[in-house]
Structure 1
Amino acid sequence: MSTSETTPATSANTSEAKSRFSAALDEAKAGAAALGDEAKLRAGQYRDDARSKGETWSSDAKVKSRELAQDGKTKASEALSGLSRVIDENAATLDEKLGAKYGDYARSASRSLQENARRLDERSLEELTEDGRTAIRNSPVAAVGIAAVVGFFFARMFR
């Protein structure tokens, strides 16, 4: 057997191998493209699901925070009214022990607390929020100071 006899057979085998390899490569490329498309589709679905759940959680959080704010407003108003009653009930004792001047101060403070409680009850959360923003804009240093004092007291309470 000479080399000239094996060349056509080898050439045919090489050609067939190249053809099969090329077909396998094309099939692998098509499979990779299909997987890529499926991955994009699933990523889009996951993104949409996450966005939907995020919007649901966000709306639930807004509703809950509004309920908590309303409860807080109601409790603050009740606390001011209760403090006003306690001060008013003790004004007579202050009259007797310290003088009428101090009893009048107590009554004045009681009326002021009662008036603030009434105004708090009458105002909506939106109005109170806007009033707070306005106060912070007008006096940011005082707002930071008040926040620091409140933070200090909360830290001491929960220690």
Structure 2
Amino acid sequence: MAESENPNAPAKTATVKKATSKPASATTKPAGADAAAPKAVAKAPPPKGKADQIKSKVKSDMNDFKAQATDSVRAAAVKGKDRATEAVGSISKLIRDSAGTIDDNVGKQYGDYARTAADMVEGFASRMDAKDVDALAEDARQFVRKSPAVAIGAAAAIGFVLARLVRSGDNDA
């Protein structure tokens, strides 16, 4: 009797096959994860009244932004108009001041031409100063409509002059 030889020895037990654990995959979830896992659910649109409030707030904000931008552009245009008027007035003064020199060097008739040109430039400056920015913009629109070729040519000439000024400024540095 082998079993009775050692009464304190543990009895042989049948071997139990251990369950093999599979590696966790993307489809397996840990226990208890079903309740805590976020589900891909489309958000419900806000209630009708709230959506209207949001739309009206966005429209109001856009109108405020548009008003601020318009005010900024108008202020810049007024400042530019004032500078241009001042520059044209300075050109008129320069022509008038040089009329005396022209009288002495070339003749009185050519000095009178310079004075007439100075008067015309001064008149242009005063007309430009008298108009507001909207009237000047409308005058420019009308001019472009009446003679688009001249407007395109003038724009090209101004662009050329500005490009030359910028290039000469780069060379000076």
Same fold (TM over 0.5): yes
User: Which ranges in structure 2 are unaligned for 5 or more consecutive residues?
Assistant: 1-34, 168-173
Other-structure match for 1:144: 152
Give the alignment's TM-score, normalised by structure 2. Answer: 0.64
Q: Name the counterpart of 1:55.
A: 63
Q: Are residues 1:32 and 2:14 paired? A: no
Deviation at 1:138, TM superposition (A): 0.6
For residue 4 of structure 2, what is the aligned residue in structure 1? none
Aligned pair count reads 130
Match of 2:134 in 1: 126
Deviation track 1:5-64 (CA, whole Å, cap 9, x = no partner) reads xxxxxxxxxxxxxxxxxxx9xxx7xx936x222599998777655544333222111101
RMSD, aligned CA: 2.9
User: Quick check: which has more Rg, 1 or 2?
Assistant: 2
**Which residue of structure 1 aligns with residue 26 of structure 2?**
none
Which residue number in structure 2 is paired with residue 114 of structure 1?
122
- Alignment partner, residue 97 of structure 1: 105
Q: TM-score, normalised by structure 1?
A: 0.69
Identity %: 35
Structure with the higher fraction of residues in helix conformation:
1
CA distance in structure 1 between the aligned counterparts of 2:160 and 2:47, rounded to whole angstroms: 52
CA separation in 2, counterparts of 1:75 and 1:81?
10
The one-letter code matched in structure 2 to 1:96 is: D
Q: For 1:116-156, what per-residue CA distance to the aligned partner results, in whole angstroms no more than 9, with x for missing partners?
A: 11111111222211111111111111111111111222222
Quote how far apart the aligned CAs of 1:66 are: 0.5
Q: Per-residue CA shift, 1:43-91, capped at 9, x if unaligned?
A: 8777655544333222111101101111111111111111111111111
Q: What amino acid is the match of 2:113?
A: Y
Q: Supply the distance in 2 between the matched residues of 1:52 and 1:158 (Cα, whole angstroms).
A: 42
Gap change, CA 1:152 and 1:53, over 3 Å in 2: farther
**Structure 1 stretches lacking a partner, 5+ long:** 1-23
Matched to 1:100, the amino acid is K
